[in-house]
Amino acid sequence: MNENPIGFFDSGVGGTSVWKEVIELLPHENTIYLADSKYAPYGRKSREDIISLCIKNTEFLLKQNCKLIAVPCNTATTNAISYLRAHYDVPFIGIEPAIKPAAIQTDTKKVGILATKGTLSSELFNKTHKEFTQNVNTIEIVGTGIVELIEAGKKDTEEMRDLLVGITEPFMISGIDYLVLGCSHYPYIKEMLQDLLPRRVRIIDSGAAVARQTLHILKEQNLLNESVKPGEHILYSNLQTQTLDSLTSEIANREVVLLDF
């Protein structure tokens, strides 16, 4: 059982930003990553549709004997993780926008949050938001169009820069000193965002927290892979493999596979 893989799914390639943090912290774990790119973006879908897609992805990963499922997708986590936990026995690790650390550390008391519509309108996001931002103003912006460009392999283009100029404008005028990346695709545009925003703005994401939580749950449930071999990784895409391949090319022992799914 302990050598069984950790499963990951996201609406597409973005969750690999989190997957990389997990395999860096847990180098002996085998993993399977499912990029559901055919159905991306999830961020504009209804809660019901997001839950159905999450069921489909979970059942695929369970058929591959995954011992734990990480959901490095804020939209899927905030809309579906409670459903998944209630219906399947396997442990699930979710991801949520890092509102708490930003709200604790901000000096200007103004925090930007960039996420999908599905995340910002979810009950879980609104609950966390209410709990941690009592003395802080938050400026929430939907990153419309960003996921599509990253999925199409256009993260470092002028087209992306032009899109981000418009998206970051409300952050520029509001005086934020923290920007929370509330979508797992966005770490791939962190540098461009940093370049567009004033230097005082610290951009944070939740990847490292997910990795720490994965380690914690594996230990707690006696599921750690004790093998000394480096982990092996299979990354599936149901649309095209080029973007997944280029975003993960630095990782050893990985195979990128096109899936009819």
* Catalytic residue positions, numbered: 73, 183
What stretches of the chain show up as alpha helix (H) in DSSP? 16-25, 47-63, 74-87, 99-105, 117-120, 123-132, 146-151, 158-174, 190-196, 207-220, 242-247
Is the N-terminal amide bond of 41 cis, ω within 30° of 0? yes
Q: Report which DSSP code applies to 189.
A: G
d(CA 123, CA 32): 29
Binders of ligand DGL among residues 200 to 229 (CB under 6 A) are none
Binding-site residue total for ligand DGL (CB under 6 A)? 18
Stretch that binds ligand DGL, among 132-140, 182-190, 213-221, 253-261 (CB under 6 A): 182-190
Contact region with ligand DGL (CB under 6 A), list: 179-187, 188-196, 204-212, 231-239: 179-187
Query: d(Cα 39, Cα 53) in Å, to the nearest integer?
Result: 8
The binder of ligand DGL chosen from 57, 133, 168, 184 (CB under 6 A): 184
With H, G, I as helix, E, B as strand and everything else as coil, classify residue 38: helix
As a whole number of Å, the end-to-end CA separation of the chain is 26
Closer by beta carbon to ligand DGL, 108 or else 121: 121
Q: How buried is residue 83: exposed, middle or buried, by Cβ count under 10 Å (0-12/13-18/19+)?
A: middle
Q: Binding residue for ligand DGL (CB under 6 A) from 9, 11, 94, 238?
A: 11
Binding pattern for the stretch 91-120 against ligand DGL, x by CB under 6 A and - elsewhere? -------------------------x--x-
Q: Which is nearer to ligand DGL, 138 or 206 (CB)?
A: 206
CB-based burial label for 1 (10 Å; 0-12, 13-18, 19+): exposed
Tokens of 75: 């939209």
In angstroms, give the least distance from the CB of 72 to ligand DGL.
Answer: 7
Nearer to ligand DGL by C-beta: 9 or 60? 9
Interface segment toward ligand DGL; rule CB under 6 A; list 8-16, 57-65, 152-160, 211-219: 8-16
State the residues that interact with ligand DGL by CB under 6 A: 10-12, 14-15, 40-43, 73-75, 116, 119, 147, 183-185
